Amino acid sequence: MTRFVRQECGFCHGLRLTGGLGAPLTAEAMRDRPIEYLEAVIQHGIPGTAMPGWVPHLTPRQVHWIAERLREGFPP
């Protein structure tokens, strides 16, 4: 999953997830967001933006793992 986040999320959010086309996904930026919100965004995307939904490609367990790692600070 780490590779998925680095490649797929990093494409828009920057290789270090500090922002790019997409917003930063650093622990500081994600810490106050409810885990349910992060999971919903990962699953369904954000309409009207470049953020796609990943439902067809990720299981609920994988989505939860990503959301938790983003809140904690994604591994370097």
Asked if the model's pLDDT at residue 76 lies above 80, the reply is no
Give 55-68 pLDDT, tens digit per residue.
999 999 999 999 99
The amino acid at residue 31 is: R
Model pLDDT, residue 10: 94
Model pLDDT, residue 74: 82
Domains annotated on the chain, with CATH: 25-76 (1.10.760.10)
Mean pLDDT of 6-35: 95
Q: Is the pTM of this model over 0.95?
A: no
Q: Could you tell me if 71 and 38 are in contact, meaning their C-beta atoms sit under 8 angstroms apart?
A: yes
